[in-house]
Structure 1
Amino acid sequence: METNRISWYIMIVIIVGVTIFHICGTVYVSLARNDTFTETKEIILKYENSQEKEAIEKINEIIKKLKEYIRTSLMELAFGLIESMVVIFIKPIYELIKKLAYSDKSFSEYSSRIILISQIVAGILFLYDIYIAIDDIKNYMTLLSYAKEIIQTTNLLLPLIP
């Protein structure tokens, strides 16, 4: 009986811990993403009408950063998927422990509610992770094409500058 409770506690700590970690990661990504996008856009706009070779170098650096941001967004999506799957697909383990702890119904009902809430939160967070990743990649691709366009324009103008 005591072993069953310990099993439940361990599972609840794992599930709730992963869910809290996922929430913190999602909040951090949500707060950081707008700043990164805005800063990058401002730098690109700063060099938009520049007719210097230095501008091309700066924009090439930005293009490298944008490609890195896109990779980071894909990695964040992968981590979100892993975190969500840990919580959502732990159900078979949950069912096994539920059978083991069947003798203490009130405790198993309470624990199963906590696990269900964590699974719902994990599902919602994963959907939000997908939204963030798609939105970030779309924004960064837009900036990437804009930066490449500026480089092409600047390369065309450089020979005309005395």
Structure 2
Amino acid sequence: MSSDAVRRVRPAAYAVCVEDERILLARWVSHEGERFWTMPGGGLDHGEDPYDAAIREVAEETGYQVELERLLGVDSHHVTYPPDPVNGPSPRDFHGLRIIYQGRITGGELRNEEDGSTDLAAWIPLAEVEQLPRISLVDIAIALYRERPALGRIAP
């Protein structure tokens, strides 16, 4: 990576909520208008605990209150984006640290986020997830939920 790259580390927290062989997902809308399914969750506010961030983000994106039951793992996602007219003349070196919890819905009603980064929240049958346009986090979170690796990491 060239030294002129804009570097950014983004810690984020997510919850895997599974009921009756269905998983709670949120549909993320990119800056270009593309839509991909993701886990409910998102970036930490400065100084925010990841546990609290996951609870807050699930409520914002789905309308549900969630109780986090256990830490499933941490995923490290690193990607470089080329320069573009929206983000500037320098490449962007992005490093996402994604903290993934198992959660249980305890209240609230399913609703879509308004004026946020997602436009739809839904319970999706686990058997249908493979057919969805989704980001890699969905597959990683499901693998962590199913495998529960001792070190909280899915091998690349």
Greater strand fraction, Structure 1 or Structure 2: 2
Give the TM-score normalised by the residue count of structure 1: 0.21
- Which protein shows a greater Rg? 1
Q: Give TM-score scaled by structure 2 length.
A: 0.22
- Structure with the greater relative contact order (CA < 8 A, sep ≥ 6): 1 or 2? 1
More helix by percentage:
1
